[in-house]
Chain A
Amino acid sequence: RKEVEQDPGPFNVPEGATVAFNCTYSNSASQSFFWYRQDCRKEPKLLMSVYSSGNEDGRFTAQLNRASQYISLLIRDSKLSDSATYLCVVNKPGTASKLTFGTGTRLQVTL
């Protein structure tokens, strides 16, 4: 089983739609979870950390389900500028923080 698994997509959605991405992770001892966004030929940028109780940042909502080892990202009212690859990121427990990146889910928002 991959350490971090995501559906690669692409997800093609019209502007204004709500879209959800899911991610599963294999190490139950993982403590920190993030969503990063990567635009084509650019560096990954932190979108949001994911907290146990779930958290929201504007149109973005992240949820964590530790029992099922599952993380989700919900984007409401999609904008053209949301088109990007969304990377699910989980820390690998050990003596030092080491992040494991999923291969990403590509989102294309269209008119």
Chain B
Amino acid sequence: DTAVSQTPKYLVTQMGNDKSIKCEQNLGHDTMYWYKQDSKKFLKIMFSYNNKELIINETVPNRFSPKSPDKAHLNLHINSLELGDSAVYFCASSLSLAPQAEQYFGPGTRLTVT
């Protein structure tokens, strides 16, 4: 049973397109996150949601719009894709917003923009 799952695993698309990545967790966690890992392997938070409410929006271009239909799901929609958006996007979840709450990551979505 996968704890945090993401679809699709790979996404290849052209510049200017709009695409979505879905994330689901079956851990009963309240908090979910989106991270971006670039070609230099630097992992950086983009957004976090707690009980469907946006908590962190880390100066991400507004072409990126997260949506949380319920606390088990956090989707990421990206408009007008650019070459620089190519990266691996990881979804994660944690029990709560507490600083000591451990985060569990999904398998990642490898996005390539051509």
Instruction: Give the residue name and chain of the A residue nearest to B58 (CB).
Output: A98
Q: Does A103 contact B (CB under 8 A)?
A: yes
Which listed residue, A32, A87, A104, touches B99 by the CB 8 Å rule? A32
Q: B-facing mask of A33-61, CB < 8 A → 1, else 0?
A: 01000000011111001000000000000
Once A43-B106, A96-B55, A98-B48 are accepted as A-B contacts, the answer to whether A87 and B101 lie under 8 Å apart by CB is no
Q: Does A44 contact B99, Cβ atoms closer than 8 Å? A: no
Which listed residue, B44, B48, B55, B100, touches A31 by the CB 8 Å rule? B100
**Docked CA distance A6–B106 (Å):** 24
**Docked CA distance A98–B33 (Å):** 10
Q: Does B43 contact A (CB under 8 A)?
A: yes
Q: Which residues of the other chain, A, contact B99 by a CB distance below 8 angstroms? A: 31-32, 91, 93, 97
CB of B106 to closest CB in A, whole Å? 6
Instruction: Give the residue name and chain of the A residue nearest to B100 (CB).
Output: A32
**Docked CA distance A99–B98 (Å):** 11
Which of B31, B41, B94, B97 has the most chain A CB atoms inside 10 A of its CB? B41
Chain B 77-114 residues near chain A, CB threshold 8 A? 90, 94, 97-108
Instruction: Give the residue name and chain of the A residue nearest to B44 (CB).
Output: A101
Q: Does B45 contact A98, Cβ atoms closer than 8 Å? A: yes
Q: Which residues of the other chain, B, contact A96 by a CB distance below 8 angstroms? A: 48, 50, 55-56, 97
Instruction: Give the residue name and chain of the B residue nearest to A8 (CB).
Output: B41
Q: B-facing mask of A78-101, CB < 8 A → 1, else 0?
A: 000000010100010101111101
Q: Does B43 contact A49, Cβ atoms closer than 8 Å? A: no
Q: Which residues of the other chain, A, contact B97 by a CB distance below 8 angstroms? A: 96-97
**Docked CA distance A97–B105 (Å):** 15
The 3 closest A-B pairs by CB, nearest first: A43-B105, A32-B99, A101-B43
6 new A-B contacts at CB < 8 Å, known A96-B56, A97-B97, A104-B41:
A32-B100, A43-B105, A49-B102, A96-B48, A96-B50, A98-B58
